Amino acid sequence: MDEFNKIIKDIKSLKIQGATNIALNGLKAMQLKPDYKSIKLILKTRPTEPCLQNAIKYAKEVENPKISYNYLRNMDKRVENIASKLIKKNSKIFTHCHSSTVIGALKLVNVKFSVNNTETRPLYQGRKTANELAKMGIKVNHYVDSAAEDAIKNSNIILLGADYINSEGNVYNKIGSYAISELAKKHKTPLFIITNSWKYSSKKLKIENRDSKEIWDVANKNITIKNPAFDIIPNKNIKGIVSELGVLKPKKFVNKVKKEYSWIK
């Protein structure tokens, strides 16, 4: 299999996952095959990913995927730097799934803290998060998804990534994020979204429904497996969106993105 098709396959299977990594690898694929049909194929890999869509749009505008790639990486470095400052000594941080931006921010924190995280069924991206943090010497308490309330009760801040932020400032992230945000509200635990602003889109994107086999390869006509990849965190459950534009309330974030990046539709 050539390198282009391997990237496509790895994004589709979630070997490459997380909005930022999907966009960066999408740009690598675009560099290999910049023709119209190949770009269409790249965009189709994960339909609920504005970061990929915006990164490709920018690459087309500047006629160079590498420039877009570097822009996105630098933007994420700025986000991580700002987010790392939210963490106080002995913080107990809750996170879900695997966000490279959240992990990048935690890498920069130089006070002691611990992490509570959920395994993230069906594909266990939470294990990836736990392993990466543990390798950095960070103590992790790892929970099944249904123990999210316990994990949140034992946390004093919640950091989640984002896949898509819509024009109301509602945030689409890995399935389970909505329930987490409701628990955050119930326990008065501040929830921050750590993200670059290319996750924004004013378009109405559908939530991707993934292969049922990821959950259970069962053959029974009376059982239908539902496998939505994401759900929606309402803006009112979000304390702040931390991006390269600063720490902002969701609606202010949207207004600022519209001003800074008028080409993002």
Residues that bind ligand RUB (CB under 6 A): 14, 17-21, 97-101, 125, 161-163, 173-174, 229
CB of 65 to ligand RUB, least distance (A): 18
Number of neighbouring beta carbons within 10 Å of residue 188: 7
DSSP string computed for 182-227: HHHHHTT--EEEE--GGGB-SS-PPPPBPPGGGT-----TT-----
Nearer to ligand RUB, 65 or 163 (CB): 163
Helices 50-61/36-44 angle, 10° precision:
160
Q: Is 163 a catalytic residue?
A: yes
CB of 148 to ligand RUB, least distance (A): 15
Nearer to ligand RUB, 90 or 209 (CB): 209
CB of 64 to ligand RUB, least distance (A): 22
Nearest Cα neighbor of 232 from 190, 204, 197, 263 is 204
Q: Angle at Cα 144 formed by Cα 228 and Cα 191, nearest 5°?
A: 70
Q: What is the number of the residue whose Cβ is closest to ligand RUB?
A: 161
> Which residue is catalytic, options 163, 211, 217, 231?
163
Nearer to ligand RUB, 30 or 49 (CB): 49
Q: Is 233 left (phi over 0), alpha (psi -120 to 50) or beta?
A: beta
C-beta separation of 30 from 56 below 8 A: yes
Nearer to ligand RUB, 10 or 150 (CB): 10
CB of 31 to ligand RUB, least distance (A): 20
Q: In degrees to the nearest 10, what's the CA dihedral of 216, 219, 224, 229?
A: 30
Nearer to ligand RUB, 59 or 229 (CB): 229
Nearest Cα neighbor of 117 from 162, 159, 79, 60 is 159
Q: What is d(CA 111, CA 120) in angstroms, rounded to the nearest whole number?
A: 27
What are the residue numbers of the active site? Answer: 163
